[in-house]
Amino acid sequence: MSTITWIGLGHMGAPMSANLVAAGHDVRGFDLSEAAMAAARQGGVQTFSTMGEALDGAEVVITMLPKGEHSRAVYLGEDGVLALAPKDALLVDSSTIDVATAEQLHRAASEAGFAFVDAPVSGGISGAAAGTLTFMIGGEEQHARRAEEVVQPMAGRVVHTGAAGTGQAAKIVNNMMLFICLEACSEGSVLADRLGLDPRVFWEIASVSSGDSWALQTWYPVPGMTDSAAANHNFDATFSATLAAKDIGLALAAGEQTDVNLPAARLVAERFQELIDEGLADKDCSLIAKYAAPDGAIPGWDPDKA
């Protein structure tokens, strides 16, 4: 049993940390949101009103924060992890952030004498709850091995991707592919509907045909097809449009840096931006399905109840 400090107890952090509690670890949590901390307490996490208190006695620190700017604040701030965590703690950043920030955190952690890995995950909140996430771990071999052991109760697969920042690189490319598949499901679900197909009949055909994908199985934007879809709950976020826009933006920035053409990614980025511009930033990213409908009306979406 280890003492693990968890910072960032949102959609992902709460169920992930609950799996560490279930595996017998002592988990000390902190989040800026009291509501997030209350949800984490349901999963057995002990919460604290300051990050400093939560870091007391930590053998491992895991962060699950929205963006690079939050990871920088939490690690590098005056009252941050590098200033306050015990020096022998292993630091694991599971947030999805840009490669440059991940590399900056590796350097700063190493200069401060810490073992650090970038360890973003794939699998969504359903994978977080089930403990079947894929972890992509970038960093030195011995640190990656330590991290692999710690994340086991939350993981289906753990892959050491290579040097510092490569976990984030793998995650960014993977998510770009996911969002392009989501756009395919969005257009496909509306076209199938307008062609008069029964949604269940079509979804079952695609599930065993060449149209299958993780997005189809997990996020298909039609209610009643797959339990984990936001469409079942008026598109309340499992993965918000804001976070999706952030991730596809990371891919577009990486494309610019490497001179790679990414027209499909650019299109999906525009769709997420449309949701944000409409004031729907906190709704689920799969709500982009409504842009395939000429009138914006899709089953499962009631804007009056948003």
Instruction: Tell me which residues touch ligand NAD (CB under 6 A).
Output: 7-13, 30-33, 36, 64-66, 70, 73-74, 95-96, 121-122, 124-125, 238-239, 243, 247
Closest CB 201 distance from ligand NAD, rounded Å: 28
- Between 9 and 192, CB nearer to ligand NAD: 9
Strands 90-93 and 115-118: parallel
Helix (H, G, I), strand (E, B) or coil at 211: coil
Closest CB 199 distance from ligand NAD, rounded Å: 23
Closest CB 242 distance from ligand NAD, rounded Å: 8
d(C-alpha 251, C-alpha 127), whole Å: 23
Closest CB 32 distance from ligand NAD, rounded Å: 4
Catalytic residue set = 171
- Between 124 and 167, CB nearer to ligand NAD: 124
CB-CB contact of 153 with 127 (8 Å):
no
CB-CB contact of 138 with 164 (8 Å):
yes
- Between 9 and 158, CB nearer to ligand NAD: 9
CB-CB contact of 13 with 36 (8 Å):
yes
Cα torsion through 166, 212, 300, 42, rounded to 10: -50
CB-CB contact of 156 with 178 (8 Å):
no
- Between 49 and 257, CB nearer to ligand NAD: 49
Q: State the DSSP string of 127-179.
A: HHHHT-EEEEEES-HHHHHHHHHHHGGGEEEEEEEESTTHHHHHHHHHHHHHH
